[in-house]
Amino acid sequence: MRETIILIDDHLEEGSRLARYLTLHGFEVICDGYHSPALPDLFRRHQPALILLNLAEPRLAGLQLCAEIRRSLDTPLLFISSLNEDSLKIEALRTGGDDYLTRPFSLEILLARIQAHIRRHRRAFPANRKHLLLYPDLEVDLLERRVTAGGSEVRLSSKEFNLLALLAKHPNQVYAIEALHEMLWGESRMSELRTVMVHIYNLRQKIEKDPRKPRYIHTVRGAGYKFEWLESGRR
């Protein structure tokens, strides 16, 4: 069965060229634009193996779309762009992108990156257990919205669960406080960013054996938060 890639690109000519190449290499490619009302239905019906998002001006539209996708999907997401600013690349990755490839690039490199991300995601989330995030002394059931820490079920609020699920689905990825607030609360006003800090504190109290020396939820000074995981430690 051919795996599906959803390509989000408002530039039809470039998008068509990429789609033809990837189709020749065994993928089913579905193209759509940034503002298409059909995107949520495409994600739901096709369950893509990877999302390709062309980041162009206005760049904020692409970053916002990535954040919106990350609220419901953990599918690998690869940015492709002619914009080559380090600050933009960092923001794109913090918002939820898994990779950022700058034009000009060879199609062979793009294909290799796509295959690597799909392979890594498949290993991390086997199809029959994709709804379970399993770590030593911590289990997050995305389907039942249940969390077990140290062998005991932990009661989390809806927002606490969403925050933990987002971080645990993307281990070692650093999220800025502003990005977390926008993804989970839909806005990022400076006056309300303390909400994220309070929820992080509450999560540590509930899932960490020693909240003062957390095993999983780490503060990255000057950058934000991450769920730390060394691959050898996962069950």
The domain that contains 140 carries what CATH number? 1.10.10.10
Same domain flag for 99 and 144: no
Same domain flag for 96 and 195: no
Cα(233)–Cα(235) distance, integer angstroms: 7
Name the residue range of residue 9's domain.
Answer: 4-124
Residue that terminates a domain, selected from 83, 108, 124: 124
Q: What is the pLDDT of residues 40-58, one digit of tens each?
A: 888 878 889 999 999 988 8
pTM: 0.56
Q: What is the pLDDT of residues 141-197, one digit of tens each?
A: 887 888 999 889 999 998 899 999 999 988 999 999 988 988 888 765 655 678 899
Q: What is the pLDDT of residues 92-138, one digit of tens each?
A: 999 999 999 999 999 999 999 999 999 888 776 665 556 788 888 89
